[in-house]
């Protein structure tokens, strides 16, 4: 059985849940794909756990990383460069202005000839071309299904099932928090502030919710979809962004009178994030904290995907999709 070696960089919610899923699915993956995975390092910016023969994931999950007796001060960039592995998983939270520390992690892994799988939107949205060109030069792959739409396999759907199609447009609901707020406001006739507060209480929105409600998160995902599904070369500043703060009960009532709901839509062809009227019967008219994406293709017509757009467990499904794709090729 082929053994695939992984380095996990970033061991927060997503990293830990990914490790749990990997551990739980060991037998399933070995039976189905004839592959074994071992995690040879878990790294944070200023320290790491390393075992070139494979870490005991159960133990690593039990305690905080820095309290693990094997924890050393060996830094992530050093681990990525020096520890032998096939794939580096970049699972840190990204800074949307600089893309760091993820960007440096990714470039370092490619430099060392390692494939990359990431859930980190910022570096992919900021430096798509640079990353992809450097990967090509080094004969490596960078996969990023988990950056858009949580559990929904949008990018791999296009890559692995709609191969013959050219994508004419991609648009939809790419942020579950705003969709939850808009659904709440419409269904229960409450104001924005009350709906936001409930989203915060449910853990669906940060205490500073501006990243979601001002449309920034949607715009970042739109940039990734534009560059990867439609061969564009755009960045965040090219996108016209309006959030949902201006939506109020009058606009929602007016929408309803026209048989529609208001949804925050990211639209690649229009390069725009804005609240839009979506007819009640339209497949994109989805309530609650879900994501929904419409891919307009030349042969298959419109394909709509709906699913859970966030959450560490669901995101692990997308990470595993990329990891298994790369693993199977190495087999």
From 53-61, 87-95, 136-144, 288-296, span contacting a second copy (CB under 8 A): 288-296
C-alpha distances out from residue 236 to 112, 117, 223, 241, Å: 29, 22, 6, 9
The yes-or-no answer on residue 221 being catalytic is yes
Residue 318 tokens read as 């997308």
Is residue 157 close enough to count as binding a second copy by CB under 8 A?
A: yes
Residue 111 tokens read as 């430099």
Residue 234 tokens read as 């755009």
Question: Binding pattern to a second copy, positions 31-60, x when CB under 8 A?
Answer: -xx---------------------------
Catalytic pick from 221, 237, 256, 257?
221
C-alpha distances out from residue 149 to 29, 156, 179, Å: 24, 12, 13
Q: Which one, 251 or 287, has the nearer CB to a second copy?
A: 287
How many CB atoms neighbour CB 238 within 10 A?
Answer: 13
Considering the complex, what minimum distance in angstroms separates the CB of residue 159 from a second copy? Answer: 8
Is residue 7 close enough to count as binding a second copy by CB under 8 A?
A: no
Q: Cα(13)–Cα(172) distance, rounded to whole angstroms?
A: 26
Q: Binder to a second copy among 244, 247, 317, 326 (CB under 8 A)? A: 317
Rama region for 174: left / alpha / beta (φ>0; ψ in -120 to 50; rest)? alpha
> For tokens 């949607």, what's the residue?
218
For the segment 127-146, give every residue that binds a second copy (CB under 8 A): 145
Q: Binder to a second copy among 240, 302, 330, 331 (CB under 8 A)? A: 302
Residues that bind a second copy (CB under 8 A): 21, 25, 28-29, 32-33, 145, 151-153, 156-157, 160-166, 280-281, 283, 286-288, 290, 292, 297, 299-308, 311, 313-314, 316-318, 320-321, 324-325
């Amino acid at each position: 059985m082929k053994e695939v070696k992984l380095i996990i960089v970033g061991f927060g919610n997503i990293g830990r849940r990914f490790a749990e899923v990997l551990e739980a699915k060991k037998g399933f993956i070995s039976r189905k794909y004839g592959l074994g995975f071992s995690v040879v390092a878990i790294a944070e910016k200023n320290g790491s756990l390393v075992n070139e023969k494979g870490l005991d994931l159960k133990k690593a999950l039990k305690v905080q990383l820095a309290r693990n007796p094997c924890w050393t001060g060996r830094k992530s960039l050093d681990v990525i460069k020096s520890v032998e592995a096939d794939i580096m998983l970049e699972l840190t939270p990204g800074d949307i202005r600089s893309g760091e520390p993820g960007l440096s992690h990714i470039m370092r892994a490619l430099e060392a000839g390692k494939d990359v799988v990431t859930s980190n939107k910022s570096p992919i949205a900021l430096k798509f071309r640079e990353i992809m060109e450097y990967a090509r030069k080094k004969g490596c792959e960078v996969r990023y299904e988990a950056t858009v739409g949580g559990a929904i396999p949008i990018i791999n759907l296009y890559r692995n099932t709609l191969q013959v199609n050219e994508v004419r447009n991609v648009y939809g609901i790419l942020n579950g928090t705003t969709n939850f707020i808009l659904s709440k406001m419409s269904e229960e006739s409450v104001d924005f502030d009350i709906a936001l507060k409930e989203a915060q209480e449910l853990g669906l929105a940060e205490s500073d919710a501006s990243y979601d409600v001002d449309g920034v998160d949607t715009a970042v995902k739109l940039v990734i979809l534009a560059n990867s599904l439609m061969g564009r070369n755009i960045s965040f500043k090219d996108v016209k962004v309006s959030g949902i703060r201006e939506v109020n009960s009058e606009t929602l009532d007016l929408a309803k009178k026209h048989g529609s709901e208001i949804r925050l839509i990211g639209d690649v062809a229009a390069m725009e994030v804005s609240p839009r009227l979506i007819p009640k019967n339209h497949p994109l008219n989805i309530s609650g904290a879900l994501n929904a994406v419409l891919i307009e293709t030349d042969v298959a017509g419109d394909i709509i995907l709906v699913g859970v757009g966030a959450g560490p467990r669901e995101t692990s499904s997308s990470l595993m999709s990329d990891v298994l794709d790369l693993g199977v090729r190495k087999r």
